[in-house]
Amino acid sequence: MPSRNGYFGEFGGRYVAEVLRRPLEELEEAFHRFYPDPAFQSELERLRVEYIGRPTPVLRAHRASEELGGANIYVKLEGLANTGAHKINNAMGQALLARMMGKTRIIAETGAGQHGVATAAACARLGLPCRVYMGEVDVRRQRPNVFLMELFGAEVVPVTSGTRTLKDAVNEALRDWAASWENTHYLLGSALGPAPFPDMVREFQSVIGREVREQLRDVKLDAILACVGGGSNAIGLFSAFVDEDVRLIGVEAGGRGPQLGENAVRMTQAGRVGIVQGYKSYFILDDDGQVERTHSVSAGLDYAGIGPELAFLGKSGRVEFQSVTDQETLDALKFFARTEGIVFALESAHAGAAAIRLAPHLPRKANILVNMSGRGDKDIFITAKALQPQQWRDFLLSEAASISEAEKHHG
Amino acid sequence: MAKLLMTHLVAGYPSDEASLGAALGMVQGGAAYLEVQFPFSDPSADGPTIQGACQWALDRGWKPERGWKLIERIRESLPEVPLYIMAYASLVYTPGIASFCRRAREHRVTGLIVPDLAYGQDEGLAEESRKVGLDLMPVIVPSILPQRLEHILQGGFSNIYVALRSGITGTHTELQPQVLDFLESLKTRGVRVFGGFGIDSSSQVKLLAPHVHAIVVGSHLVRAIGQMPPDSKPEDYTELLCARVRSLLD
């Protein structure tokens, strides 16, 4: 559903300092010019097939459904996309657009690193220099993704301001862009921020929903579930079904519990309507309007704001919002690994957990689809630490020892 | 030609007493306008100096309540100096635009600067300001497109803030000829122009003075405040800022 002048109902907009108005207008114009262009579409389609690995499959999760005893569960294996998550759909789309706009440099923010990895990969593929801003805290805890970004030739810049996490990386990217927009594209990673980003990112992610419709055209879906951080995988999936008779369920990070600061639930708990980072939506703010701390076991869901279109669809009741805790998420990860041989990313495992909760309450002829927006390889340092702490510790120590040993011989 | 300065400070950095001391010093040193920034968790238009100052204050529990109290105390000591509050949208929108404006007026604030509530998409800020008699100062940049500039100029503003460089606060600005041309072009438009962003020397002040109504100095002074020893007293800040502002006007 395209916005009206950048608004979805009361949400969205373009609340930026004057310096960013021109680059945003220029981007909006370029998107409307190039996106419908058959040459752009065919180039993007070619990259989707050859590079991203689309269409990603839909799995009928027989064993999981059997064990839960209720609805049939289908899983969209979006995590099989190159670089491991849906993020590449948007990164490649925007990078291609930037190249057509004549931009010669890409900047991006990243939290957990998935968007950073996708952007670095897309830039490597298209031959564009890339700088990724990443909170210092995230750089430290997401070393594997930093390694991949650097392997793709990106420059990863640690951000030391504020809470040194995703939102601070966004601020830093905005600061860079304010000075560099004439030759630089800011490749924002979710369906949020100032217009036109929410519309643009949804369009690049809508391929997920279109594929599901095609792949399940003979199946009557009763519910569709997706995790929601900023919400790009959810809006990309839901957008194909908004006008249909099917429940759309967005799943937020319930973290360690309902106390302020212990979760990232914007829609059903502490969220309030605010204006932050260029758009109006639900945010976790204190009474004065300061952005509050958040928590989730999955780094991709612990952002304080939600995309404006989902805020609108949530407020109108079209999208239902639920939250699941860190513990339910880890249980869901184990459940689908054991029953189906698939490893959800921790973000996506939130949607998996909500599916586990829902399925037994539905009749056997009901069908639900859950988006595995990312695969869990990237989380191994978090999941293994949580699920097998002792063995994982021993492994890491022996790895560290072997590095030291090698250094001794070569040093 | 008289050189008018608008000097900027971050409320609560490093303490409310220090901020008050600094404000007094700025005016003693010759500042014609004061701009007090309310610290925000996500100051995306500010460079490292002001970011750091805001974070410092917030880490020590700064709240807008304290900001209002500081404004009150500045007003008690300096009843006449034009006093502006600079804040990001979230701090103005969350308590309610109308109530923020009313409160500012009750505290005898002269005007507001809210960079991310730009004219035309400001949630009614321009209207509410006008209603209570606050001077809302839009922030523009020389790269602004002519049509947009006209739109803002037709908004009936008395004063306008021109950020002299694209980017963020606090990095030294080389004043380009086209920027000075831009400032000149505003002279006949019936607004008073405040120019700032990266002003840190008396030679820049001299160069700019003929082209603007007033020159805004922010990060340069915030940096000086940050370099004071931790046990400094409010009068030390008064002395420091008085000297710094004086030297900018030399």
Q: Going residue by residue through chain A (411 aa), what tens digit of pLDDT does each one get?
A: 899 999 999 999 999 999 999 999 999 999 999 999 999 999 999 999 999 999 999 999 999 999 999 999 999 999 999 999 999 999 999 999 999 999 999 999 999 899 999 999 999 999 999 999 999 989 988 899 999 999 999 999 999 998 898 999 999 999 999 999 999 999 999 999 999 999 999 999 999 999 999 999 999 999 999 999 999 999 999 999 999 999 999 999 999 999 999 999 999 887 999 999 999 999 999 999 999 999 999 888 989 999 999 999 999 999 999 999 999 999 999 999 999 999 999 999 999 999 999 999 999 999 999 999 999 998 999 999 999 999 999 999 999 999 999 988 876
In a domain, A94, yes or no: yes
CB pairs under 8 A between A and B: 106
Count CA atoms within 13 Å of residue B4 on its CB side: 15
In a domain, A248, yes or no: no
User: Does B54 reach chain A within 8 Å, measured CB to CB?
Assistant: no
The H or E element spanning position B129 is helix B125-132
CB contacts of A282 in chain B (<8 Å) are none
Cross-chain residue pair A289–B40, CB shorter than 8 Å: yes
Other Cβ atoms closer than 10 A to A368: 25
Cross-chain residue pair B45–A277, CB shorter than 8 Å: no
User: Does A285 reach chain B within 8 Å, measured CB to CB?
Assistant: yes
What's the rounded mean pLDDT across residues B129-152? 97
Tokens 């109108």 sit on residue: A316
Instruction: DSSP letter for A362, please.
Output: S
Longest dimension (CA), chain B: 52
Measured in angstroms, the CA of A167 and the nearest CA of chain B are apart by 8
Other Cβ atoms closer than 10 A to B145: 12
A153: closest CA among A177, A114, A127? A127
Q: Where are the beta strands (DSSP E) in chain B?
A: 5-10, 33-37, 83-86, 111-113, 135-136, 139-140, 159-163, 192-196, 214-217
SS3 A156: strand
Residue B212: predicted pLDDT: 97
Task: Tell me the whole-structure pTM to 2 decimals.
Answer: 0.96
User: Does A400 reach chain B within 8 Å, measured CB to CB?
Assistant: no
**Interface mutation vs chain A, best among B68, B94, B173, most A CBs within 10 Å:** B94
Check which CATH number belongs to the domain holding A140 and give it.
3.40.50.1100
pLDDT reading at B191 higher than 90: yes
C-alpha span between A206 and A90 (Å, rounded): 10
Q: Catalytic annotation on B17?
A: no
pLDDT reading at B167 higher than 90: no
User: Does B168 reach chain A within 8 Å, measured CB to CB?
Assistant: yes
List A190, A328, A373, A378, catalytic entry: A373
User: Does A194 reach chain B within 8 Å, measured CB to CB?
Assistant: no
Query: Is the separation of the CB atoms in B216 and B8 below 8 Å?
Result: yes
Count CA atoms within 13 Å of residue B223 on its CB side: 15
B243: closest CA among B22, B38, B93? B22
In a domain, A288, yes or no: no
Cross-chain residue pair B42–A167, CB shorter than 8 Å: yes
Residue A142: predicted pLDDT: 87
**A73-77, A265-269, B54-58, B86-90: the lowest-pLDDT one:** A265-269
CB contacts of B148 in chain A (<8 Å) are 21
CB contacts of B95 in chain A (<8 Å) are 287-289
Sketch the domain layout of chain B as residue ranges.
5-249
Residue B1: predicted pLDDT: 56
Q: Return the structure tokens found at A233.
A: 């995988």
User: Does B145 reach chain A within 8 Å, measured CB to CB?
Assistant: yes
Choose the closest CB to B42 out of A181, A287, A291. A291
SS3 B47: coil
Query: Is the separation of the CB atoms in A305 and A192 below 8 Å?
Result: yes
What's the rounded mean pLDDT across residues B101-109? 98
Going by pLDDT thresholds of 50, 70 and 90, the confidence category of residue B174 is confident
Q: Return the structure tokens found at A35.
A: 């996106």
Range of the domain at A160: 7-49+86-201
Query: Is the separation of the CB atoms in A117 and A145 below 8 Å?
Result: yes
Q: How far is CA B43 from CA A20, A70, A280, B10, in A?
A: 14, 49, 16, 12
Cross-chain residue pair B94–A274, CB shorter than 8 Å: yes
User: Does A164 reach chain B within 8 Å, measured CB to CB?
Assistant: no
User: Does B111 reach chain A within 8 Å, measured CB to CB?
Assistant: no
Helices (H) and strands (E) in chain A, counts: 16, 14
CB contacts of A294 in chain B (<8 Å) are none
Residue of chain B whose alpha carbon sits nearest to that of A292:
B41
> At the fourth CATH level, which superfamily is domain B5-249?
Aldolase class I (3.20.20.70)
The torsion angles phi and psi of B97, rounded to 5 degrees, stand at -60, -45
Residue A411: predicted pLDDT: 61
CB contacts of A167 in chain B (<8 Å) are 42
In a domain, A267, yes or no: no
Q: How far is CA A361 from CA A310, A338, A357, in A?
A: 25, 22, 8
Cross-chain residue pair A18–B141, CB shorter than 8 Å: yes
Q: How far apart are the first and last CA of chain B?
A: 12
CB contacts of B143 in chain A (<8 Å) are 19, 22
Q: Catalytic annotation on B46?
A: yes
C-alpha span between B174 and B201 (Å, rounded): 11
pLDDT single digits (tens) B66-76: 999 999 999 99
Angle between helices A87-100 and A38-47 (to 10 degrees): 140
Residue of chain B whose alpha carbon sits nearest to that of A16:
B116
CB contacts of B38 in chain A (<8 Å) are none
C-alpha span between B39 and B62 (Å, rounded): 8
Q: How far is CA B156 from CA B115, B118, B127, B132, B150, in A?
A: 17, 14, 11, 15, 11
Q: How far is CA A374 from its chain centroid? A: 8
Measured in angstroms, the CA of B223 and the nearest CA of chain A are apart by 16
List B16, B17, B42, B46, catalytic entry: B46
List A28, A78, A109, A172, catalytic entry: A109
SS3 A315: helix
CB contacts of A291 in chain B (<8 Å) are 41-42, 90
Q: How far is CA B64 from CA A22, B118, B122, B169, B221, in A?
A: 32, 22, 20, 22, 22
Cross-chain residue pair A289–B90, CB shorter than 8 Å: yes
pLDDT reading at B169 higher than 90: no
Measured in angstroms, the CA of A98 and the nearest CA of chain B are apart by 20
